Amino acid sequence: MTQKKLSIILVFTLWAGLFSCTEKQNTASELQGFYHAKLDIGENHVPFFLRVKENAGGWAAEIINGKEALDYDEVYVKGDSIKIIMGIFDAEIRAKVDKNGQLQGEFLKNNVAGYSIPFLATPGSTQRFATTKDPAYDFTGKWKTVFTHEDGNVYDAIGIFEQDGNQISGTFLTKLGDYRFLDGNVGGDTFYLSAFDGSHVYYFEGSLDERGDLIGKFRSGPRYMESFTASRDEEFELPDAYSFNYLKPEFETFNFTFPDVDGKMVSLDDESFKDKVVLVQLFGTWCPNCMDETKFLAEWYKKNKERGIEIVALAFESRADFDYASTRVKKAKDRMGADYTFLIAGESNKEKASEALPALNQVIAFPTLIYLDKQGQVRKIHTGFNGPGTGLYYQDWVEAHEQLVNELLQE
């Protein structure tokens, strides 16, 4: 080969390499921005807003549901591909930029075999649901709601909504917890609400019937479906959250021994809990309501621990594997700044959790918060959790929690 031909080949190769690098850099920079994203659960799509941004040290993302913005800092970009780790949850979004500048891929739950939902994010749009009709009704207010599962199981709930034009937000409260921050739109006499928090994929649709009541459907992910009916009722309330759990008559005390995240066995009989008010939290890193409760308790504990208070979280995880569970719990603990004690208690199965805590009548919900006085006696048990998405209900719980703990400290 002549020197001239060799030089031409080298120059061409150099230019090709530069073009390739430039193309990848441009693709990565184009990932930044605000997206209207949706998860395809079959008959319906679950929309949410996604923001991708490049930071000095890498990439970050934000998922927006109404008044809530969830931040994710484990975001990895390579060429035209992006992977977003969903915070404390063992789940992720994987996507690539297509020829139209959209992000196309899937949402995966790594702890659920075969769980994959198609994902698509389009730059720009700021309306969650693309309704074509002007709103013909204002759903603002409180609704007594009855959900019915396909298997016939029925449960009560409260729907609370705020509407401004064709924008609607709110949530549903049940005796076990709430459906967190729902956001959506109204078209005609129908509302559409959705939420995606990195774990749960929620879709609600409700329409007025001829009597002025609601009929609708609720979908959670690609498989779970319920119908619901609702009527306006400002006076309706759910049963007292302190009335569901109690110690069995044959047990005078509540105790347990489980390993902490490093494998050290911990019991309520340990000296560190003696003569203190102790809160025992039934918890799971897969549980968004537990995330809400833990965020509150983490900050509250920092402000109150010197008063003679301890919190012990009993983690019931999706796999019966200590190393897996410990890794998930350590990550959740660190990310939420919860510096109280976390123990690995078992699997995220209510029957097995009930077996692990035989003094309780049963484990009904995650989370559940058990209040023990300075003598180690169970004084109250709060089942479920209504988080900040419930507005006044959340504020009322915070006040009741503060009052109860103050009373126990003064005894």
The tens place of each residue's pLDDT in the chain, 411 residues long, gives 444 443 433 333 333 333 333 344 445 667 889 999 999 999 999 999 999 998 877 999 999 999 999 999 999 999 899 999 999 999 999 999 999 999 999 999 999 999 999 999 999 888 999 999 999 999 999 999 999 998 889 999 999 999 999 999 999 999 999 999 999 999 999 999 999 999 999 999 999 999 999 999 999 999 999 999 999 999 999 999 999 999 999 999 999 999 999 999 999 999 999 999 999 999 999 999 999 999 999 999 999 999 999 999 999 999 989 999 999 999 999 999 999 999 999 999 999 999 999 999 999 999 999 999 999 999 999 999 999 999 999 999 999 999 999 999 999
Please count the residues of the chain. 411
Angstrom distances, CA of residue 210 to CA of 189, 206, 401: 11, 13, 42
**Per-residue confidence (pLDDT) for residue 21, from 0 to 100:** 39
378 membership: H or E segment, kind and range: strand 378-383
Q: In this predicted structure, what is the pLDDT of residue 30?
A: 75
- Decide: residue 376, CB within 10 A, 0-12 exposed, 13-18 middle, 19+ buried: middle
Residue whose pair of structure tokens reads 């994710």 in the numeric block: 72
Question: In Å, how far are 167, 176, 265 from 187, measured between CA atoms?
Answer: 10, 31, 56
Euclidean distance between CA atoms 31 and 20, whole angstroms: 17
Preceding peptide of 135 cis, ω within 30°: no
Q: What is the pTM of this model?
A: 0.91
DSSP helix/strand/coil, 306: helix
Q: What does 329-349 look like in DSSP terms, one character per residue?
A: HHHHHHHTT--SEEEEEEES-
d(CA 195, CA 129): 12
Say if residues 172 and 255 touch (Cβ distance below 8 Å): no
d(CA 68, CA 108): 22
CA distance 358 to 338: 27
Residues 6+ apart with CB under 8 A from 316: 282, 283, 284, 345, 346, 347, 348, 349, 352, 353, 356, 366
Q: Which residues of 193-227 are buried (b: 16+ CB within 10 A; e: fewer)?
A: bbbbbbbbbbbbbbbbeeeeebebbbbbbbeebbe
Give the residue among 300, 288, 283 at the shortest CA–CA distance from 88.
Answer: 288
By three-state DSSP, how is residue 211 classified? coil
Task: Say how many CA atoms lie within 13 Å of 20 toward its Cβ.
Answer: 6
Domains present along the chain, CATH in parentheses:
27-123 (2.40.128.120), 141-232 (2.40.128.120), 257-410 (3.40.30.10)
Instruction: Give the Cα separation of 105 and 96 in Å (integer).
Output: 6
Residues 6+ apart with CB under 8 A from 403: none
Question: What is the DSSP secondary-structure string of 245-281?
Answer: --B-TT-SS---EEEBTTS-EEETTSGGGTTSEEEEE
Residue 28, pLDDT score:
60
CA 73 – CA 56 distance, rounded (Å): 12
